[in-house]
Structure 1
């Protein structure tokens, strides 16, 4: 079995191997991430403009507690890794 992409064809086994390698890499990168991060940490890690744009677009919702606004780190990572068309 093979999978046809616009630029090439790869075997299903190769596709799964590459996919699993990328998943393992992402899990390794994210293993020490906290569940939530402050707005300041989010700005530093993902860029202020990105976080503000994602919030305006409704792609992320902050969690507001007395004296603290936080974002779910997993949501921010997902948006960071998602190809987005801003044009």
Structure 2
């Protein structure tokens, strides 16, 4: 039997994989209706202006300039939203 050892418990490898798979499916369903790109105003509304501007300033997200507007890839913003970040660097 394969076990993964965490500091607070041991988990069977198959249980770990099942949990990861369930989480991936949940995230895919949650993001299924997202458009590929969103406008800067929509990004500010969904993720917070401060967050989007900080991610852009630190080079974590790339703005795409289109005639008359600025857009961001929704998947990039979702990834940053789900990533724990250290703001004191």
When normalised by structure 2's length, the TM-score is 0.94
Q: What CA distance in whole angstroms lies between the structure 1 residues aligned with 2:6 and 2:52?
A: 32
Q: CA deviation at 1:26?
A: 0.3
Partner residue in 2 for 1:67: 68
Q: CA deviation at 1:85?
A: 1.5
> 1:14 aligned to 2:15?
yes
Write out per-residue CA displacement over residues 27-54 of structure 1, whole angstroms, 9 at most, x where no aligned residue.
Answer: 0100000000000110111111110110
Stretch moving more, 43-52 or 4-13:
4-13
Partner residue in 1 for 2:39: 38
Q: CA deviation at 1:83?
A: 1.1
| Runs of at least 4 residues off by over 3 Å | none
Partner residue in 2 for 1:51: 52
SS of 1:59's equivalent in the other structure is: coil
When normalised by structure 1's length, the TM-score is 0.96
Q: What CA distance in whole angstroms lies between the structure 1 residues aligned with 2:56 and 2:69?
A: 16
Count, aligned residues: 87
